Amino acid sequence: QLQLVESGGGLVQPGGSLRLSCEASGFSLRDYSVGWFRQAPGKEREGISFISAGDEDTFYTASVKGRFTITRDNARKTVSLQLNSLQPEDTGVYYCAADLNRGRLLLHRLLMSGDFTSWGQGTQVTVSS
């Protein structure tokens, strides 16, 4: 399993932006599909976005579509999640996860079930005035 490390979390005011990054220690994420998940206080973890290996297909849940953008930087061996127009309900711990599977239908199922193979420890995002 990969060891993933998230970075970029922090405290931001409503309407603000953050950029989260996910990096695999000692490895490139180029051949892995990567998902982003978040867990709000008192709630279950939810999958919010993925980028597929190979065709680089992306997906967003309705709660973040149009505000969050997932990208892959092969040169830097990272996958990032740009968070714009943040609201207090976006507060939570954000996790990245990686898997060798690819393809939209399968990855959507894995995102909804949380069954990615390798996980990071998470980074806290707090949206508050």
At 47-102, the pLDDT tens digits run 999 999 989 999 999 999 999 999 999 777 899 999 999 999 999 999 999 999 99
- Tokens representing 52? 């597929």
* Single-letter amino acid, residue 116: F
Residue 53's Cβ-side half-sphere holds a number of Cα atoms within 13 Å equal to: 15
Do residues 94 and 20 lie in contact, with contact meaning Cβ atoms separated by under 8 Å?
yes
What are the φ and ψ backbone dihedral angles of 22, each rounded to 5 degrees? Answer: -130, 125
- What pLDDT was estimated at residue 3? 92
Mean pLDDT of 102-112: 94
d(CA 97, CA 118): 5
3-state secondary structure (DSSP) of residue 40: coil
Q: Give Rg (Cα) of the chain.
A: 13
